[in-house]
Structure 1
């Protein structure tokens, strides 16, 4: 299934943007920010200004399966304050960062609205891509079709347990980039990079030329550099959200700058 040439938000196709950055020699950096948490829009803008190649915007969900305790706390605070998927997307429309945006959430929200309405809502919010973290590739056909029709790049997750015979199909079907899940577990900072993080990235890169980013379990700029010895880039979530909650949105820019510098200087 091929995405239409019109895929992408106001900054064009996320995949084209990331490919150009990668092929120009950059290691890719995508921070995650919990939508709806106080200061989240300023955090997104600060992250982009500090050198992020794209931004993941989390739509809070009450029953997450991959979010660790830090992101769960931020999501719970946002939900308790009355944040909804519609309110996050309404605010996202006002972001002007110069880089593509992806939303990350769970399939129940998409299923509740219906594939076509959910994809249309993302398009109206100037979103380029979407990650539905709990939707397996083998059950994603309807969403992939609706997303492609709407010009939304559907990013798929490759887990350490994804079998070899399925991995090439998954990577071919993914749009935007392939999200190589670094370990079996929830998001969160770890003291050391899991061995599986480089293994799954290497397996993905053996079967696709699409950008491959490692996420889940990256706890420091040094670990990001280590992951990028194999992967094309990294997605950073818990460290960013922890910084937002503890120190505010401007500190998110400072944190992202440390990752950008580390990746640029290896």
Structure 2
């Protein structure tokens, strides 16, 4: 049986701080190695400088089945640049040492399994990581990871979707920690003109199963959308919109970093409007 520490994790503390300020937390995502490893480190730091309360470092994957075309493009750039797990861990280390915000890794399970479960947990913790989001790891198969994560003080965040039945929600939330990642829409990631109408219902149903904070992602790209989600969720997760700002900068590093800070600032204002 996996046991959890009674001391709040860095991730829990960051979310609690946002809650104490009567607002939702803002969580930003960018893949490691995009546009380069060094450039990616600067970019993720820029998210916190702009107003993100926590950041997710994506581990690029050759077949990101849950990610839309924008993040797939960024992953492809990173992979063609030769990004490795060691570069992801370096990204975590350099970001965590430079910002006062929890740094998570978001990854599909296969790279972790190949790297070694215990080894990955130990190396992520040593790099200053706060936890891991594992969107494709079934909770029924997660005991080995959760034990390693708990041993090294890492949170394990699982994803719930509008298609999840209430009993499934309870099963998932009973073993997760840090927060619950609620996918606002069915389908792959990507910015949308409207936040999925299923999001609020999913958050309400999930709240009935857990006291963990619930953070909503998949589709948020504007301050207005961030405010809309912040009205019913504990956190707002933004990824594709940040990736798109870097793509739009077309290799102009300073312009890209400025665009990231500006968007993070706008979204941070949005989550405070609830």
TM-score under structure 1 length normalisation? 0.93
- Compute the displacement of 1:91 (Å): 3.1
> Runs of at least 4 residues of structure 1 off by over 6 A?
none
Other-structure match for 1:3: 4
Q: Deviations over 1:18-76 (max 9, x none)?
A: 12321331211001011111322112111111211100111101111111100110010
Tell me the alpha carbon deviations over residues 158-212 of structure 1, each in whole angstroms, 9 at most, x when there is no partner. 1112221121232231111110111111100111111111111111122222111
Alignment correspondent of 1:45:
45
Partner of 2:260: 252
Unmatched segments (≥5 aa) in structure 2 = 250-255
Q: Say which SS state the counterpart of residue 195 (structure 1) adopts.
A: coil
- Asked if the contact 2:222/2:266 (under 8 Å) is kept, the reply is no
Q: Distance in 2 between matches of 1:139 and 1:217?
A: 28
Q: When the two structures are aligned, how many residues end up with a matched partner?
A: 262
Q: Is the 8 A contact 1:219 1:239 kept in 2?
A: yes
CA RMSD of aligned residues (A): 1.6
Q: Is 1:28 the equivalent of 2:30?
A: no
1:191-202 maps to which residues of 2 (within 5 A)?
Answer: 191-202=193-204
What do the CA deviations read for 1:216-241 (whole angstroms, capped 9, x no partner)?
Answer: 12232211211222111210010011
CA offset at residue 7 of structure 1? 7.6
Once the two structures are TM-superposed, the CA of residue 4 in structure 1 deviates from its matched residue by 2.9
Cα offsets for 1:66-96 (capped at 9, x unmatched): 1110011001001101111111212321221
Q: Does the 8 Å CA contact 2:23/2:230 hold for their aligned counterparts?
A: no
Query: 1:102-122 CA distances to partner (integer Å, 9 max, x unpaired)?
Result: 000110011112210111121
Match of 1:136 among 116, 135, 138: 138
TM-score, with length taken from structure 2: 0.91
CA 1:108–1:6: 2 relative to 1, 3 Å: farther
Q: Residue 54 of structure 1 contacts residue 100 of structure 1 at CA under 8 Å; is this kept in 2?
A: yes
In 2, Cα distance between equivalents of 1:98 and 1:219:
24
**Which residue number corresponds to residue 154 of structure 1?**
156
Q: Counterparts of 2:261 and 2:32 in 1: how far apart (Å)?
A: 16
SS at match of 1:79: helix
Given the superposition, is the C-alpha separation of residues 148 and 69 from structure 1 closer, same or farther in structure 2, using an over 3 Å criterion? same
Correspondence list, 1:22-101, <5 A: 22-38=19-35, 39-95=39-95, 96-101=98-103
Mapped to 2, the partners of 1:19 and 1:151 lie a distance apart of 18
Q: Which segments of 5 or more consecutive residues in structure 1 lack a partner in the other structure?
A: none
Query: How many angstroms apart in 2 are the aligned matches of 1:244 and 1:6?
Result: 37
Q: Which one of 15, 18, 24 corresponds to residue 12 of structure 2? A: 15
Deviation at 1:6, TM superposition (A): 7.0
